[in-house]
Chains A and B, each alone.
Chain A
Amino acid sequence: MAMVVDVASWVLLTVGGFFVLVGGIGALRMPDLYTRMHAASVTDSLGAMLVLGGLVLQAGITLETVKLAAILIFMLFTSPTAANALASAALLAGINPGLAKPWRQEPRS
């Protein structure tokens, strides 16, 4: 049983680590600030959920699990707030989302 939990935990940690890496690669590859932020948000949404989920399995039913859950909830509340602050600051500073075309309905190919 402990073995199963350990394997599940390591799977979560490894997959979470993969998404953190993807966020980093994306932040380097993307062409401008706003698209970089899209890539980086993979790290602090899915990456954080999987890594913290893996750590919860390691901790078991203890006080640490309560703390890890609290960390996850606070991250999910604060990271979009920080992203909104960054994005509107960039917009106000005149960094034009010039790569983005205005949205319109396009026929699906």
Chain B
Amino acid sequence: MKKNPAATLRGMLMLLCFLAAAWVLWSGHFDPLLLGLGAFSCLATLVIVWRMGYFNREIFALTISLRLLTYWGWLIKEIVMSSLAVTKVVLNPRLPISARYIELKASAVGPIGQVIFANSITLTPGTLTLDLHQGELKVHALTQEGAEDLMSGEMDRRVASLGDR
């Protein structure tokens, strides 16, 4: 999937602008030394990611869309709910864990969608992705309830609907 040179150049310029903006925001200093170091860092980063083949492939691209932001909102709600569930288990004197081991398949086809799914599972306390290979996930769940929530498939559907190019 080699892209044409014009697209590569456009990608490089966009990344350069993004890196420069990030440097200025992070440092907040405008003396020549720090601006020079910033320019050097941005160019060095550009060379390194170019050597890594960043501009040859599409798979690293993650576009911020409205649907992704909606998904993040839903994910934060899930994180809060499952954190409270795990907190209840931790603080319960009987420590009522019922660990489960799950194997499931991600509906998302592309690598980014699958990684978003695996990371979302890990990010919500109480479920932990052990392995992701060719869309097959091995998941460890702290409780039967957590495993059931995951197997209801809502997160899988939401990630798949994000669309993955």
Binding site for B on A (CB under 8 A): 19, 22, 25-26, 29-31, 34-35, 37-39, 41-42, 45-46, 49, 63, 66-67, 70, 76-77, 79-81, 83-84, 87-88, 91, 97, 99-103, 105-106
Would you call A37 and B128 a contact (CB within 8 A)? yes
Question: At the interface, is chain A mostly helix, strand, loop or mixed?
Answer: helix
Counting CB contacts under 8 A, is B50 at the interface?
no
Would you call B132 and A84 a contact (CB within 8 A)? yes
Would you call A29 and B140 a contact (CB within 8 A)? no
Counting CB contacts under 8 A, is B136 at the interface?
no
Our count of residue pairs bridging A and B at CB distance below 8 angstroms stands at 119
Residues of B within 8 A of A106 (CB): 144
> What are some 30 contacts across the A-B interface (CB < 8 A)?
A25-B90, A29-B95, A30-B95, A30-B97, A31-B97, A34-B128, A34-B140, A38-B128, A41-B86, A41-B126, A41-B128, A42-B90, A42-B125, A46-B79, A46-B80, A49-B76, A67-B26, A77-B119, A79-B123, A80-B118, A80-B129, A83-B122, A83-B129, A91-B138, A97-B101, A97-B130, A100-B99, A101-B100, A103-B100, A103-B147
Residues of B within 8 A of A88 (CB): 130-131
Give the number of chain B interface residues (Cβ < 8 Å). Answer: 40
Residues of B within 8 A of A100 (CB): 99-101, 140-141
Q: Which among A66, A87, A101, A103 has the highest number of chain B CB atoms within 10 Å?
A: A103
Would you call B102 and A63 a contact (CB within 8 A)? no
Binding site for A on B (CB under 8 A): 25-26, 28, 76, 79-80, 83, 86-87, 89-91, 95, 97-102, 118-120, 122-132, 138, 140-142, 144, 147, 151
The residue in chain B whose Cβ has the minimal distance to the Cβ of A41 is: B125
Would you call B83 and A66 a contact (CB within 8 A)? no
Would you call B128 and A87 a contact (CB within 8 A)? yes
Would you call B28 and A63 a contact (CB within 8 A)? yes
Cα A37 to Cα B138 in complex, Å, equals 15
Q: Which among B127, B128, B132 has the highest number of chain A CB atoms within 10 Å?
A: B128
Given contacts A87-B130, A97-B140, contact A19 B87 (CB under 8 A): yes
Residues of A within 8 A of B26 (CB): 67, 70
Given contacts A34-B128, A88-B131, contact A103 B123 (CB under 8 A): no
